[in-house]
Amino acid sequence: MAETKKKAKLTNPFEGIVETLFRFFENKTYLYLFIGAVVILLVIFPNTSSRFTQEIMTNLFFYIVVCLGLNIIVGYAGLLHLGYAAFFAVGAYTTGILSSVFGMNFWLTIPFSIVAAVIAGLAIGAPTLRLRGDYLAIVTLGFGEITRLTIRNLDITGGAIGLIGIQRPVLFGITLNQISHFYYMFFILAILAIFVSYRLHDSRMGRAWEYIREDEDAAAAMGINVTTSRLYAFIIGSAFGAVAGSFFAAKMTAISPDSFMFIHSVMFLMAVVLGGMGKIPGVVLGCVLVVLIPEVARGIGPYRLLIFGALLLIIMLYRPQGIWPDRPAISSKE
Amino acid sequence: MQQLFNGLLIGSFYGLVAIGYSMVYGIIKLLNFAHGDIYMIGAFSGLVFLSIVSPYIGAGWPALILGMLITMLLVGLLGVFIQRVAYRPMLKAPRLSILITALAVSMILYNTVMLLSAGRYRAFNVEISSESFYLGALRLTETRVVLIVAAFALMFIMHMFITKTMYGKAMRAIALDRDTCQLMGIDVYKIIALTFFVGSALAAAAGIMAGVYYGTIHFYMGFLIGLKAFTAAVIGGIGIIPGAMLGGLLLGLLEAFGTQIPFIGTQWKDVFSFAFLILFLIFKPNGLLGRSESERM
């Protein structure tokens, strides 16, 4: 039985390679050595590369933080979120307004952006999640658009021009203003995000999410409060996005409504789905693809979104679990 | 009075799009994100058709009506094609997968038209007199009268189709219980395909009418109307066809009068209707015509 299964798998050469790699990394020593090597390479990276590549890598880390937050909602809880850029905007604008208008220290603005995101998450999530999970998709889509319109029309957010003059964060007496500073800052954030994601996944809440995703009715029958658990996922994910937004504002020092379009929400979602929803290595891989493909293949320019849309369709039709391979024995509903 | 008329006219566009949205949701529980893009494609196909035939028969009412029928047919078939390729394989998959598939379809349609139209606004040229006349205090044009009559006629035909024909009955039955319908000898897949055909055709008709009404069309026009159609469907009670029409008209009126309130103004129009969506979800989640739902999906 096991014999035939292996044979069937090996007919796809790509799958064969991945399987071999997986078996190799099942040995924990190799795995830790590999991860250690990657981390060391990434730490010394800024000393050996141009500002441009550092910028791209910083962007990649930033994507990893945002997408891991989105992954809590989409991957863990199985809810489609189409307005993630809006929560990201909530964080960015909270920091932006507090720092440029009221002159507040950057680090002190972060709790405020978390609170703002939680309020927004409750306002959107509580009425919607009470009903059906899939209403959330379209309500978040609407919320994304509405947030952008609101930012554009209000005075305190600087209207269509946006906010300028957001203060740089200061850490241990050093003002963070070099690209390498932000490289390290987002690198640390990405590692933190990965750590938090793993802890959440293994927590009691994480297991409840997985159960709900696989079989909502059975989970409810086992005494899990489906609505509350989903709401937690939605709010925690939103707070994640808001923190990333705060750091984004600090890095850019200027933000405008154009940074928070529907397209950005779609790109985040793309990264989560492409690599494999709910799987942290999968999400990281998805981010690498989404950030690096447009940089490597500059020629695709205007066709980028069309290609990504087609890719998304193909992934959903033929490999819904994403590019990153599944661990065996996970069966989907029906 | 003028606002009442405008509201009804815009509302009837919302209603036509909302019908397709609501029908598809009722029958396979899919929020079809691509529906707004179907509306946009309808408008563009209508424009292409008009530009082909206008050297021969002009761009007056006959050409427009012919164009509308042909576009409805073609876009309806496009809807069936999308359903067959993208949604049907996903019917048994988890809900999240089919939602993402719908998003992917929407992205493909939207970006294709964006590339083809070079991302510009296109003028929707028709040769119809734009002279206005007065009916009491109401300022009307020939176009507006014909549009509103056509929209209401389509809604009426649709209502008859759903309530009086075999196919309509089958659709309502599938919405209630798909598996039992299959056992009763209804060709479920055929009815689902028919639903997509009808829904897409209505959206295409609304697209062309919006083109005539506004005079310009662009690739982005489907995005907001998809959202509005969903709001309309929720207001009326999702899955209920008369509800979708009622919701659309109501939303159109709300917007028309809402923008008259001094504080709100036109730039807050979309925020205003979104707020209504949230309010409805909080206080009347089953919509105006919906029954309270005991079983949870």
Residues B78/B7, Cβ–Cβ less than 8 Å: no
Annotated domain spans of chain A? 52-261
Distance CA B27, CA B16 (A): 17
Residue of B nearest to A126 (CA): B282
Residues of A in contact with B281 (CB under 8 A): 127-128, 131, 135, 139
pLDDT recorded at residue B111: 84
Task: Give the structural domain span for B186.
Answer: 2-260
Task: Confirm whether B32 is domain-assigned.
Answer: yes
Query: How far is B177 from B109, CA to CA, in rounded Å?
Result: 31
Query: In the structure, what pLDDT confidence band is assigned to residue B122 with cuts at 50, 70 and 90?
Result: confident
Question: What 3-state DSSP class applies to B191?
Answer: helix
Quick one: pLDDT at residue B296?
39
Is B291 inside a domain boundary? no
Nearest to B111 among A80, A132, A306 (CB): A306
Does the CB of B264 have a partner CB in chain A at under 8 Å? no
ipTM: 0.74
Residue A123 to residue B277, Cβ atoms within 8 A: no
Judge whether B61 lies within some domain. yes
Residue B274 falls inside a structural domain: no
Residue A316 and residue B90: Cβ atoms within 8 Å?
Answer: yes
Contacts of B117 in chain A (CB under 8 A): none
* Exposure of A34 in the CB half-sphere (CA atoms within 13 A): 10
Q: Write the pLDDT tens digit of every residue in B144-198.
A: 788 888 888 888 888 888 888 888 888 888 888 788 888 888 888 888 888 889 8
Q: Give the minimum alpha-carbon distance from A232 to chain B in angstroms, rounded to a whole number.
A: 18
Q: Tokens 């496009």 appear where? A: B78
pLDDT digits (tens, 9 = 90+) for B49-98: 888 877 777 667 777 888 888 888 898 899 888 888 888 887 777 777 88
Q: Does the distance separating the beta carbons of B278 and A123 come in below 8 Å?
A: yes
Chain A closest-CA separation from residue B92 CA (Å): 7
Distance from CA of A290 to the nearest CA of B (A): 15
**Cβ atoms < 10 Å from Cβ of B84:** 14
Q: What is the mean pLDDT of residues B275-288?
A: 75
Q: Does B27 reside within a domain?
A: yes
Name the closest residue on chain A to residue B94, using Cα atoms.
Answer: A333
Cβ-proximal residues to A120 (8 Å cutoff; 6+ apart), any chain:
A86, A87, A90, A143, A238
Alpha-carbon distance of A227 to A131, in angstroms, equals 9
Give the span between the Cα atoms of B110 and B22, in whole angstroms. Answer: 21
pLDDT at position A14 is 56
Q: Around Cβ A253, how many Cβ atoms within 10 Å?
A: 16
Per-residue pLDDT 10s for chain A (334 aa) are 444 444 444 445 555 666 666 666 666 777 777 777 777 777 776 667 777 777 888 888 888 888 888 888 888 888 888 888 888 888 888 888 888 777 777 788 888 889 998 998 888 888 788 776 677 887 888 888 888 888 877 777 676 777 776 777 767 766 666 777 778 888 888 888 888 888 888 888 888 888 888 777 788 788 778 888 888 888 998 998 899 888 888 887 777 777 777 778 888 888 888 877 878 888 888 888 888 877 776 666 677 778 888 888 888 887 777 777 655 434 444 3
Mutate to test the interface with A, among B95, B224, B273 (most CBs of A within 10 A): B95
Q: Say yes or no: B116 contacts chain A, CB-CB below 8 A.
A: no
Q: What DSSP string runs through A217-266?
A: HHHHHTT--HHHHHHHHHHHHHHHHHHHHHHHHHHHS-B-GGGG-HHHHH
- What do you get for the CA distance between the two ends of chain A, in Å? 23
What is residue B294's predicted lDDT score, i.e. its pLDDT? 40
In a domain, B36, yes or no: yes
Cβ separation of A123 and B105 shorter than 8 Å? no
Distance to chain B for A181, nearest Cα, Å: 36
Picking from B104, B115, B267, the nearest residue to A302 by CB comes out as B115
Strands A170-171 and B132-135: unpaired
Whether residue B290 lies inside any domain: the answer is: no
Tokens standing for residue B221: 């026009």
Considering only the beta carbons, identify the residue of A82, A131, A312 that sits closest to B104: A312
pLDDT, position A8: 46
Instruction: Measure the CA–CA gap between A170 and A33, rounded to whole angstroms.
Output: 34
Q: B19: which residues sit within 8 A by CB, 6+ positions away?
A: B155, B158, B199, B202, B241, B244, B245
Predicted local confidence at residue A280, as pLDDT: 82
Average pLDDT over residues B38-43: 90
Tell me which chain A residues have a C-beta less than 8 angstroms from the C-beta of B287. Answer: none
Give the nearest chain B residue to A138 (CA atoms). Answer: B227
Give a yes or no: residue B267 inside a domain: no
Residues in chain B with CB shorter than 8 Å from the CB of A143 are 274
Select from B227, B270, B282 the Cβ nearest to the Cβ of A127. Answer: B282
CA distance A74 to A68: 10
Q: CA-nearest residue of chain A to B294?
A: A131
Q: Which residues fall within 8 angstroms of residue A150, CB to CB, at 6 or more apart?
A: A157, B271
CA A278 to mean position of chain CA atoms: 11
Nearest to B274 among A146, A153, A316 (CB): A146
